[in-house]
Amino acid sequence: MNAKEFNRKYSVGSRFIYLTGPAYLGGKVVRTKDIARDFEKSGAIVEISLAPFFVKLSSLKPAD
């Protein structure tokens, strides 16, 4: 999913589960703090409420 699609589907403040590690089991509930943006080298990134603060969209799973 690119940033434009993500922003259309989810508003700022939406809740997600931040999936850490290769197994993607469990994770912390976070909220988005800004719109997602596309970057040429790293892909689509969004700011979240917990460290590491900026993550790829592929590491987020909708919490609702």
pLDDT band of 13, cuts 50, 70, 90: very high
Please report the sign of the dihedral spanned by the C-alpha atoms of residue 64, residue 5, residue 32, residue 26.
positive
- Asked if pLDDT for residue 64 goes beyond 90, the answer is no
Number of domains observed in the structure of the chain: 1
Owning domain of residue 43: 3-62
Asked if 45 and 37 touch (Cβ cutoff 8 Å), the reply is yes
Give the integer Cα–Cα distance in Å for 3 and 34: 11
- pTM attached to this predicted model: 0.87
Q: How many CA atoms lie within 13 A of 64 on its CB side?
A: 7
Confidence of residue 39 (pLDDT cuts 50, 70, 90): very high
- Residue 24 binned pLDDT confidence (cut-offs 50, 70, 90): low
Q: pLDDT band at 23, cuts 50/70/90?
A: low
